[in-house]
Amino acid sequence: MRAGDTLETAKGGGRAVGKLLLPAIALGTMLAPFNATMVAVALPAISDDLDVGLRDLSWIVVGYLITMAVTQPIAGKLGDLFGRRKLFLGALVGFALASIGAALAPNLPTLLAMRVGQALSSAMATPNGAALIREWVPQHRRAAAFGIVGASAGLAAGIGPPIGGAMIALGGWRAMFWFNIPVVLLAFVFAWRSLPRDRGAKDAGGFDFRGAALLAGTLTALALVASAIKGGDAWAIFGLTAAALVMGSLFVNHERLIKEPIIRLSLFRIQTFRSATLTILFSNMAMYTTLLVIPLFLVDLQGRSTLQVGFVLGAMSLPLVFLSPLGGRLADRWGRRTPALVGGVLVLGGLLPFLAVDESWGLGLIAMLLAFIGSGMALQLPAIQTAALESVPERDAGMAAGVYSLGRYVGSIVGSAVLVALLGTGADAGDAISIAAVSTVFVMAVVASAGALISPMWIRNR
């Protein structure tokens, strides 16, 4: 960093934080949700251009999310071992190259490979960006920093579809991937100027390739269970579940014996880390279930348009964008536990009325309740992420960030799988949706949100 480029010196550590550190991490973290939602609107155009069916094309989205979930714990560990700055900068370069490859892809297999490359790069950036905040941002400003990054990610997910649609209208679906390049270049310039130099690799004794392979296999099998449930394939569900249990057991036994494991199991003995990880798992389960069932309710049972659905769901996402920085500041002022609990109360309060949902409900009532849920999550999420990462030794911050992010994805996967199981399976599942089935889904969402309210009670209130 150049002289004069410091934002603040960390309390007690004498460490300088670059002015552009947060913008760099925010931009790098935005790439994952931005591309996840942006690509969704391009599927019909890609299908027509490459002459492939939408069922096969859905792997562009599914493969991206599975790769993100599987890779983040491994990427966080790599950052701990070999330097977080290196991994973050390398992730930006990799994302740019994968975006160029996607824009030039002549066929579906190439496009799928480039999407996996994007996901791998995003998975390297996300936990290492979080670990850099843990390492270099002073404790009294750390939650506010996570709130800003969280708001940026929420904004990216929200603007992805309209920007994707605009790019498709201007230059076809390939223009959508070219749009990533200036964003990545800006993030790289910010990161190069502001991210502190790595202080040298840890004496690791070799990377745990066997552990990484077992973890990747376990998580991939778990993620594919959701797809098997949706397809109603009982043998696939049984086989994938059995594979996940076997590989998961082998992974746990292996990690206990390794000097530098992919996931240090002792982290789960830390009460605050365990509670925060459970909170994000339950929170995402409740949020993802709600985001999936509301459109089904509005379209299939009330006959609403997709435009109306979009505006209603915006009532949940907008508070996440605009109130997350406030949630972070409150966590810095009040401690980590209090905003997490207050946020949990708001989420549960917004979900409880849905237990009595019926077809006569108006859009205004639904939007108001979703706004309560979004506001609660905006208070809760920065606090629990900060609590999770600062509860672990600094040397394991990348690993902890990866595990925390994994909890987020596991909650989403479990929520979507249970929703499909409750509402039915198969191509005509939507025809069988009833108000009783929707109410049952909301029971699950309420139970999950209760877990997200109870878990933070054991978070240390710094």
Rounded Cα distance, 417 and 426, in Å: 13
Give the E-state strand segments of 259-391 in sequence order: none
Residues 156 and 218 in one domain: no
Rounded Cα distance, 385 and 134, in Å: 10
Residues 335 and 234 in one domain: no
Give me the domain span that covers residue 340.
264-462
Rounded Cα distance, 126 and 380, in Å: 19
Residues 226 and 314 in one domain: no
* Domain boundary residue, one of 191, 208, 225: 208
Residue by residue, DSSP assigns 267-286 as GGGSHHHHHHHHHHHHHHHH
Residues 376 and 458 in one domain: yes
Low-confidence ranges of the chain (pLDDT < 70): 1-18, 54, 199-205, 424-432
Closest CA to 121 of 68, 58, 194: 68
How many structural domains compose the chain? 3
Identify the three-state secondary structure at position 263. Answer: coil
Rounded to two decimals, what is the model's pTM?
Answer: 0.88
Give buried/exposed letters for 233-255 (b at 16+ CB in 10 A, else e).
eeeebeebeebbeebbebbeebb
Rounded Cα distance, 118 and 303, in Å: 37
Residues 7 and 82 in one domain: yes
Residues 213 and 334 in one domain: no
Per-residue pLDDT at 8: 46
Residues 154 and 231 in one domain: no
Domain CATH number, residue 277: 1.20.1250.20
Residues 235 and 353 in one domain: no
Per-residue pLDDT at 402: 94
Residues 141 and 236 in one domain: no
Strand partners of residue 18: 6
Strand partners of residue 16: 9
Residues 225 and 162 in one domain: no
For the CA atoms of 202, 205, 210, 211, what is the dihedral angle to 10 degrees? -40
Residues 383 and 433 in one domain: yes
Per-residue pLDDT at 419: 81
Residues 202 and 230 in one domain: no
